Amino acid sequence: MNWTFLIITLIVAIAIWLLDYVIPAMGTKRFGGSKAGMIGTTIGLIIGLIFLGPFGIIIGPFFGALIGELINKSEFDKAVKAAFGSFLGFLASTFMKFIVSMIFTGFFIYKVIKYSDGFV
């Protein structure tokens, strides 16, 4: 077993996991959201995941950013724009996870083929 390979993939997996929470907040900020919108994005993501499952991952950050911005006394149009940035951040982080998953799948298939003689 190659410990270097396992450690590198673990570090990448942890980084992707952390970025999954950070990127939607960055999207909120990029589209004019405030700190309240960024916090709302993260809270919305967590609450949406807990209560609504996979569907909550999609709508939680959007509504979290929207509510966070409205609490921060932003105009509704600005709050919707920040929430849209949160949704785009979610899409970006999902795409990033998909690409990394495909790379990990390729590594796994390569390792299985390479060591297939030892399986019998």
Note the pLDDT tens digit of each residue in 80-109: 888 888 888 888 888 999 999 999 999 889
Q: In the predicted model, is pLDDT for residue 115 greater than 90?
A: no
Phi-psi region of 2 (alpha: psi -120 to 50; beta: other; left: phi over 0): beta
Looking at residue 101, its pLDDT comes to 93
Task: Please report whether residue 68 resides in a domain.
Answer: yes
Tell me the residue range of the domain where 27 lies. Answer: 23-105
Task: Please report whether residue 16 resides in a domain.
Answer: no
When pLDDT is averaged across residues 12-16 and rounded to a whole number, the result is 93
- Express the helix, strand and coil content of the chain in percent, nearest 5 each: 90, 0, 10
Number of domains in the chain: 1
Please give the Cα distance from 43 to 3 (Å, whole number). Answer: 36
When pLDDT is averaged across residues 34-51 and rounded to a whole number, the result is 86
Mean pLDDT over the full length of the chain: 86
Task: Please report whether residue 27 resides in a domain.
Answer: yes
Say if residues 87 and 27 touch (Cβ distance below 8 Å): yes
Looking at residue 1, its pLDDT comes to 59
Residue type for position 58 = I
Token pair of 79 as six digits: 């709050």
